[in-house]
Amino acid sequence: MERKKPRLAVWKFASCDGCQLSLLDCEDELLAVAGALDLAYFPEATRGEVKGVYDLSLVEGSITTAHDAERIHEVRRRSRTLVTIGACATSGGIQALRNFADVREFTSIVYAHPEYIHTLETSTAISDHVPVDFELRGCPINKGQLVDVVSAFLSGRRPNTPAHSVCIECKLKGNVCVMVAKAAPCLGPVTHAGCGALCPSYDRGCYGCFGPKETPNAPSLSAWLGGMGLDAKALERVYRTFNANAETFRKESERHAEQDNQG
Amino acid sequence: MPSKTIKVDLLARVEGEGALKLVIRDGKVRRAEFNIFEPPRFFEAFLRGRHFTETPDIVARICGICPVAYQMSAVHALENLVGVSVDGPLRELRRLLYCGEWIESHVLHIYMLHAPDFLGYDGGVQMARDHGDAVKRGLQLKKVGNEILQLLGGREIHPINVRVGGFHRTPRKRELAPLAEKLKWAREAALETARWVATFDFPERERDYAFVTLNHATEYPFNEGRIVSNRGLDIAAAEYDEHFEESHVAHSTALHSRLKDGGGAYLTGPLARFNMCFAQLSPLAQQTAREIGLGESCRNPYRSIMVRAVETVYACDEALRVIENYEEPDTPCVAVQPRSGVGYAATEAPRGMLYHRYQIGDDGLIQDAQIVPPTSQNQACLEEDLIDFIGGFLDLPDKDLQYRAEQTVRNYDPCISCATHFLTLDIDRA
Ligand code: SF4
Ligand code: SF4
């Protein structure tokens, strides 16, 4: 008799679908993953659904509605291991820009009938609501890291995702520093590794899509960027992108927002 | 015939999350509602106050499956605004990038999302058990599209190499050469795909659609062209707002786009492009269409899977043309200086036309943004399809009827996450 395969579920909250799509973009590994796991719930890929408890849940997206704030508890109850994938799920994503603004104003900018819209004032990470077993960073996640996380789960080891900065990835790759050589503003020194120093390899600075690394010194980097000509407004924006609600980036952006207000 | 209500709470194999409700009374479909319960993400609101050069990175995040479409519409609208035109090799590279997205997106839709409907599987992975060779061919073909995105964009999802004025870094000729070899294989695989999907069983249903598409004198449309329809529309992107309107109504979860002045619902996407721009397809793509029995026009939405296959042949062909003629540009990017004004552009996302408008100030900060994704534009048309077609299947058992309805929605490859202003609403269960 065939051994029972662990059940995989893929859940979606507020997001662009890009992180779960990364799984379908693993063209070479997809059928192997499907062979090792039972794709029990993955509405983007299949209409079949196996009810019950899942061994591994991958959760994409942030919590932005009252209904989703309820639903995530249900997902947690039904998941033995819960892994969040991507910046939306680990820090609130780009939609967390509402956390710095008045969501009612946002609503009236986009919708003719704001009264039909029911949304929370904040966009928050999954771990703000339920315990999470592992967080995979990135907007989008790196699919090599995703495959590693899934195979780590299958073999019962820790995922192999280094916690150093994008700077180290540049050094490993032999890239010339874009800050030094091109005077390009770069968040690499405070950004979590994982992308393989993609942007500097394409002659541009990092914009921080993997979020803050473990021990970042953002004020020091800001001083450097200030020296390169970025004013308080620009610095505020630099930290407010796809991980705007991650603590280090949020605090640093708020510091510059205050400076800007004091003019 | 008894009255009944068919509800599909979570529609599978579409990007994002949608639900479907059909109300059937006295043997007729009285109402069809395609509901989208994607939480709003407010892109148009938080783009205000951002510097215009940040736009391509930000709007990419609207949709993980067609980020290039958002980047291309944004950069063209902003270049239109600041009065810069991007020509020569940079323009060609943008076509190449779009080819990559068309290939990966069309192939994903064909193999993983739509073909399972015709062959009776829950999804592509389940289908692989009996159709292993086909699914493997599909995955390899999709991968070639993704490799274009990787090389030119840095990565498949949310490319980092696109900027207003061009690219951050342009590829060397020798970097593109290995891609050409893969694309030659891909073109053959796309041909086989077209022959394969042509063997499916298609319901014989047609409608007289109002087709809306970009149209260009010499090219199959990606980034440029007039907005035209088969009802006589022929306008520049800047005139979009004068001819189209979006409405936000309580009984629907989405903004519906319609043609103004009673023009009503319209269809954008592969069928519209194919019917309106057949003459601009490459000879091989035209020949493929004839070989698989499409001819030069097609009004059967279930056959859109065949049209996608023909467009995939075209995208491979076009990508090869660009690579073979590529000359390395002197600079990766044309210089852009902000100036106050309004800019407009529409481009052809794989699933249909995507319109952007931006207003910026002299400081380069965005004051206002409008983004109309293809799913909004097709929403009204999709519901009309359901009312029209499902009526013809009412004697099927509920389970099969539901399946047909889902398939009718999936004809559109609806990209719900893209539809930035879709929202949640309670369903009227009357
Ligand atoms: S983290 Fe980025 S790629 Fe992933 S779902 Fe969110 S917006 Fe999309
Ligand atoms: S270099 Fe930075 S912005 Fe670029 S992909 Fe890597 S983490 Fe993201």
Residue type present at position B49: G
Do A39 and B45 make contact, defined as CB atoms within 8 angstroms? no
What pLDDT shows up at residue A20? 94
Q: Is A88 in the pocket of ligand 1 (CB under 6 A)?
A: yes
Q: Mutation test of ligand 1: which of A12, A195, A210, A242 has the most ligand atoms closer than 8 Å to its C-beta? A: A242
As a three-state string, the secondary structure of B135-187 is HHHHHHHHHHHHHHHHHHHCCCCCCCCEECCEECCCCCHHHHHHHHHHHHHHH
| Non-local CB neighbours of B122 within 8 Å, separated by 6+ positions | A46, A47, A48, B12, B116
Give domain status of residue B10, yes or no: no
Give domain status of residue B115, yes or no: yes
- The phi-psi region of residue B192 (left if phi > 0; otherwise alpha if psi is between -120 and 50; otherwise beta) is alpha
What single-letter DSSP state applies at residue A137? -
* Other CB atoms within 10 Å distance of the CB of residue B402: 17
Give domain status of residue B120, yes or no: yes
Containing H/E element for B240? helix B240-243
Q: Which residue has tokens 């148009």?
A: B44
Give domain status of residue B125, yes or no: yes
Determine the distance separating the centroid of ligand 1 and the alpha carbon of B8, expressed in angstroms: 26
pLDDT band at residue A2 under the 50/70/90 scheme? low
In this prediction, what percent of chain A has a pLDDT beyond 70? 98
Q: Is A21 in the pocket of ligand 1 (CB under 6 A)?
A: no
Contact A45, B112 (CB under 8 A): yes
Q: What is the CATH number of the domain that holds B272?
A: 1.10.645.10
Determine the distance separating the centroid of ligand 1 and the alpha carbon of B222, expressed in angstroms: 25
Average pLDDT, chain A: 94
CA dist B207 and B299 (Å) reads 6
Contact B133, A177 (CB under 8 A): no
Q: What's the gap in Å between the CA of B276 and the closest CA on chain A?
A: 31
Taking Cα atoms as reference points, which of A59, A105, A67, A109 lies closest to residue A86? A59
Q: Mutation test of ligand 2: which of A171, A172, A206 has the most ligand atoms closer than 8 Å to its C-beta? A: A206
Cβ-nearest to A16 among B44, B63, B163 = B63
| Non-local CB neighbours of A176 within 8 Å, separated by 6+ positions | none
What pLDDT shows up at residue B426? 27
Report the DSSP pairing between strands B212-215 and B226-229. antiparallel
Task: Please indicate if the annotation marks B371 as binding a ligand.
Answer: yes
Task: Please indicate if the annotation marks B316 as binding a ligand.
Answer: no
Which structural domains are found in chain A, ordered by start? Answer: 7-155 (3.40.50.700), 166-262 (no CATH)
Task: Please indicate if the annotation marks B66 as binding a ligand.
Answer: yes
Give domain status of residue B1, yes or no: no
Containing H/E element for B30? strand B28-36
pLDDT band at residue A186 under the 50/70/90 scheme? very high
Q: Which two tokens stand for residue B34?
A: 């395609």
* Other CB atoms within 10 Å distance of the CB of residue A43: 22
CA dist A131 and A81 (Å) reads 10
Residues with CB under 6 A from ligand 2: A 166, 191, 195, 197-199, 206-210; B 160
State how far the alpha carbon of B69 is from the alpha carbons of A102, B20, B100, B345, in Å: 29, 26, 11, 11
Give domain status of residue B37, yes or no: no
As a three-state string, the secondary structure of B330-358 is CCCECCCCCCCEEEEEEEEECCEEEEEEE
Residue of A15, A26, A38, A44 best to disrupt the B interface, most CBs of B under 10 A: A44
Contact B18, B8 (CB under 8 A): no
| Non-local CB neighbours of A158 within 8 Å, separated by 6+ positions | A152
CA dist B392 and B401 (Å) reads 10
Nearest chain B residue to A62, by CA: B39
Compute chain B's Rg from CA coordinates. Answer: 21
Determine the distance separating the centroid of ligand 1 and the alpha carbon of B319, expressed in angstroms: 28
Residues of chain B with pLDDT under 70: 1-17, 249-254, 415-430
Stretch 312-351 of chain B: residues touching chain A, C-beta under 8 Å? 332
Residue B263 burial class via C-beta count within 10 angstroms: exposed 0-12, middle 13-18, buried 19 and up: middle
Nearest chain B residue to A240, by CA: B50
CA dist A246 and A210 (Å) reads 10
Residue A255 burial class via C-beta count within 10 angstroms: exposed 0-12, middle 13-18, buried 19 and up: middle
**Structural domains in chain B (count):** 1
Give domain status of residue B60, yes or no: yes
Taking Cα atoms as reference points, which of A97, A81, A135, A78 lies closest to residue A14? A97
CA dist B45 and A109 (Å) reads 6
Domain that holds residue B172: 43-247+256-372+402-408
Cβ-nearest to A48 among B58, B61, B126 = B126
Do B154 and A202 make contact, defined as CB atoms within 8 angstroms? yes
What is the Cβ-side half-sphere exposure of residue B270, based on CA atoms within 13 angstroms? 29
- The DSSP string of A44-60 is TTBS-B--S-EEEEEEE
Do A12 and B17 make contact, defined as CB atoms within 8 angstroms? yes
CA dist A34 and A154 (Å) reads 12
State how far the alpha carbon of B396 is from the alpha carbons of B33, B159, B392, B393, B403, in Å: 20, 45, 9, 6, 10
Nearest chain A residue to B64, by CA: A18
Task: Please indicate if the annotation marks B381 as binding a ligand.
Answer: no
| Non-local CB neighbours of B89 within 8 Å, separated by 6+ positions | B170, B326, B327, B328, B329
* Other CB atoms within 10 Å distance of the CB of residue B296: 12
Residue type present at position B424: T
CA dist B220 and B277 (Å) reads 6
Stretch 202-261 of chain B: residues touching chain A, C-beta under 8 Å? 247-250, 255
For ligand 2, atom 2, which residue shows the shortest CA distance?
A206
CA dist B137 and B143 (Å) reads 10
Q: What is the ipTM score, two decimals?
A: 0.96
What pLDDT shows up at residue B29? 83
Is the CA virtual torsion A172, A175, A180, A186 positive or negative?
A: negative
3-state secondary structure of A36: helix
Express each pLDDT in A134-153 by its tens digit: 999 999 999 999 999 999 99
Ligand 2 closest atom vs CA A188: 2
Contact B38, B430 (CB under 8 A): no
Q: Which residue has tokens 């999802």?
A: B157
Give domain status of residue B163, yes or no: yes
Q: Which residues of A179-190 are buried (b: 16+ CB within 10 A; e: fewer)?
A: beeeebbbbbbb
What pLDDT shows up at residue A4? 85
Stretch 3-22 of chain B: residues touching chain A, C-beta under 8 Å? 10-17
CA dist A28 and B127 (Å) reads 17
CA dist B379 and B266 (Å) reads 9
Express each pLDDT in A92-129 by its tens digit: 999 999 999 998 888 888 887 787 778 899 999 999 99
Report the DSSP pairing between strands B28-36 and B4-8. unpaired
B413 reaches A (C-beta below 8 A): no
Helices (H) and strands (E) in chain A, counts: 12, 5
Q: What's the gap in Å between the CA of B148 and the closest CA on chain A?
A: 13
Contact A86, A145 (CB under 8 A): no
CA dist B218 and B292 (Å) reads 24
What pLDDT shows up at residue B423? 28
B169 reaches A (C-beta below 8 A): yes
Determine the distance separating the centroid of ligand 1 and the alpha carbon of B363, expressed in angstroms: 29
Do A25 and B157 make contact, defined as CB atoms within 8 angstroms? yes
